[in-house]
Amino acid sequence: MPVHLLRGGYANTYAIEDGNSLVAVDVGTSSAAKKIHQYLSDRSLPAPALQMVTATHFHMDHVGGISQLLHLFPETRICFITVVEDYLKRNKKLALFAPSKWLKGLVPIVMAEDNHLKKTAAALLSDKFAIPLPLLRTHLPSEFEPECVLDEGQPIPYLPHWELLRTPGHTPDSICFYNSDERSLISGDTILNMRGCGELNTFCSNCGSIKESFKRLVPLTIHTLYPGHGKPLHNLDGLGRIVQ
């Protein structure tokens, strides 16, 4: 049940294989969508082999490539955690970040990545929605209608060996995906790896919540961490060394 890192934007995109299923997580740019298409082509897998796309949270750099993905894979299901439906129906707004805080969180990510211009261009060519800034945070997708059906304690479609964990803090809708058999965690923007040893994200809508979320993750047996930004960490002995 391997996890494949596909770099197509500032956020990491992952392709999860679970038996005969393939699920994409965090398709943040049109370039990431094309990377998934290339991955399937290289393996001679048909387009319907991509059963589902989901996201660790509803921010542009994690969902901005979904429309492009649908052009490539029109039969793919788009599934989000249930609370995203409140955003889509305008019952709730995206958690707001002050512009100064938003830039403070964004700049280190940009500077830590290779090919800045190429990745910035990919972001500019992708959908512009789910931006946590004043006046822009209500700009939500219109090209696709996702199913907001995922939740903690419920089976994940096409991923029978994975479980969803709610980890609010960076955003109220933040989630992680955990595989106890493989001892792997896809952490989204809850845990990053911008410094080489992993760190709890300090760019949060609620810093208290993310610390509580981290406490829930610490008891898990984790050997491999797949962060939302930065390189995966292998051969871990849990999250004890993650910087808080």
* 133: in domain: yes
* 244: in domain: no
Residue 196: HSE in the Cβ half-sphere, 13 Å Cα cutoff: 0
- Torsion, Cα of 33, 35, 37, 43 (10° steps): -150
Q: Please tell me the total count of domains within the chain.
A: 1
Average pLDDT of the residues of the chain: 88
- Map tokens 């090919």 to a residue: 115
* 24: in domain: yes
Confidence at residue 118, expressed as pLDDT on a 0 to 100 scale? 56
Residue 121: HSE in the Cβ half-sphere, 13 Å Cα cutoff: 4
Question: Order of strands, edge to edge, in the sheet holding 3-7?
Answer: 3-7, 12-18, 21-25, 50-54, 77-81, 147-150
* 241: in domain: no
Which range among 11-15, 21-25, 194-198 shows the weakest confidence by mean pLDDT? Answer: 194-198
Domain extent at residue 202: 3-227
Q: 100 or 34: whose pLDDT is higher?
A: 34
How far from 58 is each of 65, 79, 185, 189, 215, CA to CA, in Å? 12, 11, 19, 11, 23
Task: Give pLDDT tens digits for 79-89.
Answer: 999 999 999 99
Q: pTM of the predicted model, to two decimals?
A: 0.92
Instruction: Kindly tell me if the per-residue pLDDT of 159 is higher than 80.
Output: yes
Mean pLDDT, range 142-169, rounded to an integer: 95
* 168: in domain: yes
Evaluate whether 23 touches 159 at the Cβ level (below 8 Å): yes
The one-letter code for the residue type at 240 is G
Q: 236 or 124: whose pLDDT is higher?
A: 236
* 201: in domain: yes
Q: Which tokens sit at 171?
A: 């955003």
* 236: in domain: no
* 240: in domain: no
User: Which domain CATH number covers 39?
Assistant: 3.60.15.10
Task: Give pLDDT tens digits for 52-110.
Answer: 999 999 999 999 999 999 999 999 999 999 999 999 999 999 988 776 666 666 666 66
